[in-house]
């Protein structure tokens, strides 16, 4: 299991409402991707204002790279005028207080529920 952090510059002059409207247009694409487990849309605050990003949970780097293909990359460059930055991390332990769950992931992505105590 991996977490992918994608960041890029917000289009010049866009406010939160414009950013949200643009993100809404991507919902069908990301909802249709069966490899994508979760995506968080984020907008920088404070010293990170002007930065947008996505925090994705995927089963593998290959799944992430397939989704962030040349077409996606070109779309980001066209809308923002800049290149995105992508970083990958091994997701090995997840505390989900909303669902009162703790999950450990083996190196092959196999999940195992753990006791919360």
Residues 96-107 pLDDT 10s: 999 999 999 999
The CATH number of whichever domain residue 95 belongs to comes to 3.30.70.100
What's the rounded Cα separation, in Å, for the pair 60 and 57? Answer: 9
Hey, what are 99's tokens? Answer: 């669902």
Element (H, E) at 56: strand 51-58
What's the rounded Cα separation, in Å, for the pair 21 and 49? Answer: 18
| 74 DSSP β-pair partners | none
Element (H, E) at 71: helix 70-80
Instruction: Give the mean pLDDT of 9-24.
Output: 94
Instruction: Report whether 31 contacts 25 (CB < 8 A).
Output: no
Indicate the SS3 state at residue 17.
Answer: helix
Count how many domains the chain has.
Answer: 1
Q: How far is CA 20 from CA 41, 50, 75, in A?
A: 9, 14, 16
pLDDT at 16: 96
Indicate the SS3 state at residue 38.
Answer: strand
What's the rounded Cα separation, in Å, for the pair 37 and 30? Answer: 10
What are the pLDDT digits (tens) for 33-69? Answer: 999 999 999 999 999 999 999 999 999 999 999 999 9
What does pTM read for this prediction?
0.91
Q: Give residue 34's domain range.
A: 2-114
Instruction: Give the mean pLDDT of 19-37.
Output: 96
């Amino acid at each position: 299991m991996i977490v992918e952090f994608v960041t890029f510059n917000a289009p010049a002059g866009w406010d939160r409402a414009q950013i949200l409207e643009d993100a809404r247009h991507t919902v069908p694409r990301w909802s249709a991707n069966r490899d994508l487990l979760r995506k968080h849309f984020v907008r920088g605050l404070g010293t990170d204002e002007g930065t947008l990003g996505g925090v994705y949970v995927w089963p593998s780097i290959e799944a992430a790279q397939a989704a962030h293909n040349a077409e996606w990359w070109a779309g980001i460059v066209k809308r923002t005028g800049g290149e995105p930055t992508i970083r990958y991390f091994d997701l090995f332990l997840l505390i989900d207080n909303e669902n009162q769950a703790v999950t450990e992931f083996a190196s092959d992505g196999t999940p195992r529920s753990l006791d919360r105590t």
